[in-house]
Copies of this chain bind each other. A is one copy, B any other.
Amino acid sequence: MDIQAINLADKLSTFDEYWSPRIIAQMNDYHFKLAKIRGEFIWHSHPETDEVFLVLKGDMRIEFRGFHTELSEGEMCVVPRGIEHKPVAQDVCQIMLIEPTGTLNTGDAGGERTKTDENWI
């Protein structure tokens, strides 16, 4: 048996695509995902689950209806289930997402930016 150390920077160096989360680990029925983001995503919510954003490098903003939350490196926030949000990053930002397996990036909004693959790296 072997239990691997997962190096976040090494994993992040394996892809460049924006808004396309990669799965790096599973804990019970939760996935840990890495993503690179830049520009604006779409408004959506996850009616069935909270979602954690942790910024590993750069800065991002999560817009909510009527307010927003700024996140810099070493900062995280919990987006409560059912709350509409839109992630935005002016420049490239590297993040970790933690959410239940099967959670879609576009939540209840769907559309062309939805990533349905379970994309492990």
Contact = CB atoms under 8 A, between A and B. Distances in A.
A78 B25 CA distance: 7
Interface in A74-121: 74-81, 83, 98-100
B76 A52 contact: no
A27 B28 CA distance: 14
Number of copies: 2
B74 A8 contact: yes
Nearest to A56: B74
Interface stretch (A14-22, A36-44, A65-73): A65-73
Given A3-B69, A6-B75, A7-B74, 14 more contacts: A1-B67, A3-B62, A4-B77, A5-B70, A5-B72, A8-B74, A25-B52, A25-B76, A26-B78, A27-B51, A27-B52, A28-B50, A30-B30, A98-B98
